[in-house]
Structure 1
Amino acid sequence: MTTIEEPKEAFPYTPPTTEIREKYAEIFALKEPLKVPFPKLLFDKAVALFFLLLASPILLLLLIANWVEGLLIKENKGPLFFYYYGMSHGRRFKKWKIRLIKESYIDKELQAMGDWHAYQNEWMPEARTYVGAFVKKFYLDEIPQFYLILKGDMSFVGPRPLAVHHYERDLAQGNVTRRLIRGGLLGYGHVRKGTSEFGKPLYEYEYVYRYLHYSPFQLLMTDLYVIWRGIVVVLKGGGH
């Protein structure tokens, strides 16, 4: 059996340091997932519905562009959406995204199992469709996750949900944040993408700390800050 080499970009998260374990000891002591505060739940659904409606014309254009590209270039033909199994709040769910790569670069056996590895050729430039390359540049592949927030599988802000095998590795190396709260479309640390701070677990623990101790208004202010930072990242068009 061929050994699958995982792209480093797929999993930059590091183990918690001694300082993190000491500073956030109460978080490591938690045994059960935390309940979503009701104000955050309402905020999640309202903002997700707003952005889903805002993005609906973009989705329609992408559907048309994907169909046209498939007509003109047969090897690029295929569905616009796909999923693999991710983990959020300690449970498995179907993480829907927009397809970036040609069907010939997708491992069909792994795809049938909802395994992230089926799509790992995403990092190969030659594997991308024209629509996929544009979609990735502006992070438009995440649009279906507005629906997942409405459905209750994710939150707007929280630690980024990982594929099952990455989640298991995250737990094995000592991280617990993704077991405790819902995964987010945007993460307190994830919006630092492109900086040396990206991938450091400190921010995920700080967010859980705020989740536990901040008032609903203070937590809302944190979420709005993260959303603003996320919008800035998207507008820069730095996806790869």
Structure 2
Amino acid sequence: MNTINEPKGAFPYQPPTEEIKLRYKEIFELRKPLKVPFPKLCFDKLLASIFVLLSLPVFLLLVVANWIEGLIIRENKGPLFFYYYGVSRGKKFKKWKIRLIKEKYIDKELQAKGDWHAYQNEWMPEARTFLGRFVKKFYIDELPQFFLILKGDMSFVGPRPLAVHHYERDLAQGNVTRKLVRGGLLGYGHIRKGTPEFGNPVYEYEYIHRYLHYSALKLLFTDLGVIAKGMLVVLKGGGH
């Protein structure tokens, strides 16, 4: 599928400026992924376990709602979950989410390959199911990623993991943050979604800088701040 036709919102990430390259020179010189600090690892596992338990009733409601909608509107019928291949800390993994669009808008050939392009019609309003519109508004489609954090594919805070082709595009334009640390459910830059600063790579480099130079405890406080701001973004219902 031709990536030229991708929705503009699919890849908002900008290349690093010369100022960023100079200011964070040591980050661009790193050749190996960074080790996850033990307190951050424990925090991720503990919080993910809590959220998995808290979200179980939500998953049950979503299963029922998806089933009822499929009965009432046959073209909206389909599985609740889907995945495409993303990249976290330079490694490919299955990024699970909740289905937003009708099956007829999904490219089955690309879906079988785990290619994100199979689902790129999610930006078309007419492609969304009723449940899909609701879960996207409040970012509920990201709930399966609590399990990915528990598994160790992701972290609560880190650069947002991209689909394989977007990751390769990000690398090609000079960004290196997503090959160094685990991808996050929330990112230091991602919490700026809905503002002109969204897509500015400086925030991801600042997070890696803190990853390198902050104590494990101080980095944990940074993560808590990002999570708090991320919850406010969710409560505003700004997903689209």
TM bucket by the smaller chain?
over 0.9
TM-aligned CA deviation for residue 50 of structure 1: 1.1
Separation in 2 of the partners of 1:226 and 1:175? 21
Look up the match of 1:25: 25
AA in 2 matched with 1:233: V
Give every structure 1 segment of 4 or more consecutive aligned residues whose post-TM-superposition deviation is greater than 3 Å: 1-4
Change (3 A) 1:3 1:151: closer
Matched, 1:182 2:210: no
1:89 counterpart residue number = 89
- Residue in 2 that maps onto 1:146: 146
For residues 196 and 46 of structure 2, the distance between their equivalents in structure 1, rounded to whole angstroms, comes to 33
Report deviation, 1:2.
6.5
Post-superposition Cα deviations, 1:117-170, rounded to whole Å, max 9, x if no partner, equal: 000000000000010000000000000000000000000000000000000000
Aligned to 1:229: 229
1:61-140 equivalences in 2 (<5 Å): 61-140=61-140
For 1:47 and 1:196, how far apart are their aligned partners in 2?
A: 30
TM-score by length of 1: 0.98
Deviations 1:44-79 (A, max 9, x none): 111111111111111110000000001111100000
Determine the structure 1 residue equivalent to 2:15: 15
Deviation, 1:37, is 0.8
Change (3 A) 1:67 1:205: same
The structural deviation recorded for 1:16 is 0.3
1:148-205 C-alpha deviation (Å, 9 max, x unpaired):
0000000000000000000000000000000000000000000011111111000000
Q: What do residues 206-235 of structure 1 show as CA deviations (whole Å, max 9, x unaligned)?
A: 000100110111101100000000000000
Instruction: Figure out how many residues of one structure are paired with residues of the other and give that number.
Output: 240
Offset of residue 9 of structure 1: 0.5
In the superposition, the TM-score normalised over structure 2's length comes to 0.98
One-letter code aligned to 2:13: Y
Residues 209 and 141 (structure 1 numbering): CA distance in 2 closer, same or farther, change over 3 Å?
Answer: same
> Which residue in 1 is equivalent to 2:164?
164
